[in-house]
Structure 1
Amino acid sequence: MNWNKLIAASFFAVLNVAAFSAHADEAASQATSHGTHLDIKKVVSIVDNGDGNCGIVDARLTYLDSSGTQKVLDYSKFADCGNQGG
């Protein structure tokens, strides 16, 4: 068995999987504007990058629509600040 070929094949397989998942993530996210109707049957997850900071943060909503297709919505929102109103 040639170890160099095995290592090279493994390396390219990992790169290919990483590139595919990054492309799938980009394609799954949709753009909306105020008043856009969203077909949400079940929320899978909601995450934001607030890290405890106050202000406007980026957030991601992952949900299933009425046909069971998983979709992703990126949006901005006010952070959930734990230190409001003193």
Structure 2
Amino acid sequence: MYKCPVCGYKGLEAPPYESGSPSFEICPSCGTEFGYDDAETDHATLRHVWIEAGAKWWSSSTCPPPGWNPYEQLREAKLPSN
């Protein structure tokens, strides 16, 4: 499993980028599509937008892990939560 550089979710099927090529996978936690959403907007800005919108679980087809807490996820990934 791989980690989302936007929200710190540790469940991506592929690395967001490998040898400079995006996976085009969508993070179920924050909804970032690598190679699309981050083509013109940096990860810090995408993170800020997600947090400002309430840091809600994005996917309607993938359930969050039991006890999921977005702020704990960010903290464990050593990503800023503001």
TM-score class, shorter-chain normalisation, is: under 0.3
Q: Which has the higher helix share?
A: 1
Normalising to structure 1: TM-score of the pair? 0.19
Q: Which has the higher strand share?
A: 1
